[in-house]
Amino acid sequence: MATARAFAKAGHAVAIGARREERLRELAPELEALGAPFVFARSLDVTDRKGIEFYRDALVEAAGLPDTIINNAGLARGTEKIEDADGIAWREMVETNLFGSLWVTRAYLPAMLERGSGHVIFVGSVAGHHGYAGGWLPSAAKAGLLGLCESLRLETLGRGIRVTSVDPGAAETEFSIVRFSGDEERAKHVYDGYEPLHADDVADCVLFAATRPAHVNIDEIRVMATAQADPWHLARATEGK
């Protein structure tokens, strides 16, 4: 939602999609009030290829082919180690984090190539660069996303397509709540003792990359809180006390 708000404030038309339709209904009028000249809001599940195509067709009919698509769906469930994993959430994480971005990109890319312009932005994670105990599957999925970005840049080179990966570290969003199966108190403790990134910080990075001149491609933005060095090294104020 923060990214949609950032684009709306900058005066861009915005298309939003999510599984929770009530969020879309709440957000759409807010985006218009913030300055978006046009808002397209419709239910979207990135693990449903047919649903992605239905969303795309409706969007193109209503507003034309978008200039930029932002793949920001992602989730992690649990903190189990490989030796203890039961595999229940594996498919969901891979299909959302990796295949979801792949199918959404595939839905728009041919028309962008035909037009000769377009920008594909992936919101990944520093976990794609560094694996960590208890986060091996999200790390593997996000690493796969980095490979997808690199391949896409090469496959579309010279054809007017820009590709960017924005990879944040610890950010205080609903990510940890989902990871801990709705346990908000446990999720809150992830951010004890330091100020993490906020959703607006990541949105600023996405907007910056998207609004560079057409001849400028921001290849990758890896952004973390000042108190973070990598997925497992954090300077918490409570440490050593």
Q: Tell me the per-residue pLDDT of 100-118, one tens digit each, with 9 for 90 and over.
A: 999 999 999 999 999 999 9
Residue whose C-alpha is closest to residue 51's, from 27, 23, 19: 19
Query: pLDDT at position 240, please?
Result: 46
Q: Tell me the per-residue pLDDT of 64-103, one tens digit each, with 9 for 90 and over.
A: 999 999 999 876 665 667 677 666 777 778 888 889 999 9
Residue whose C-alpha is closest to residue 170's, from 147, 193, 148: 193
115 Cβ contact list (under 8 Å, min separation 6): 65, 160
**C-alpha dist (Å) from residue 175 to 7, 25, 132:** 22, 21, 16
Query: pLDDT at position 82, please?
Result: 67
Q: Cα 46–223–200 angle (5° rounding)?
A: 65
CA distance 97 to 72: 8
Query: pLDDT at position 241, please?
Result: 43
Indicate the pTM of the whole model: 0.88
Q: Tell me the per-residue pLDDT of 16-44, one tens digit each, with 9 for 90 and over.
A: 999 888 999 999 999 999 999 999 999 99
Q: Are 6 and 200 in contact (CB under 8 A)?
A: yes
Give the 3-state secondary structure of 144-192: HHHHHHHHHHHHCCCCCEEEEEEEECCECCCHHHHHCCCCHHHHHHCCC
CA distance 65 to 210: 16
CA distance 169 to 208: 18
